[in-house]
Amino acid sequence: MSKSLKKARTAFEKERLQMMWWIKTEQVRQHKELSQRLGRDGSTVTRWLQKYRQGFYASS
């Protein structure tokens, strides 16, 4: 995943990969903390997580 983060070209990609990195490395455990770190509304983070779980975002 760290390679994917380094290769991400758009802010869109980097933001979502950063979120997944924090989750996988257990730096963030709560939804609210993710929202605060990203500067995004909780509903936005929820939507991103749902899409990730459905396979819309690459996670390697």
For the stretch 12-55, pLDDT in tens is 888 888 898 999 999 998 999 999 999 999 999 999 999 888 88
> 34: how many CB neighbours lie within 10 A of its CB?
22
Q: Are 21 and 41 in contact (CB under 8 A)?
A: no
The more confidently predicted of residues 60 and 2 is 2
pTM: 0.71
Q: How confident is the model at residue 4 (pLDDT cuts 50, 70, 90)?
A: low
| Cβ neighbours of residue 21 closer than 8 Å, sequence gap 6 or more | 1, 2, 5, 27
Q: How confident is the model at residue 1 (pLDDT cuts 50, 70, 90)?
A: low
Question: Cα(40)–Cα(9) distance, rounded to whole angstroms?
Answer: 20
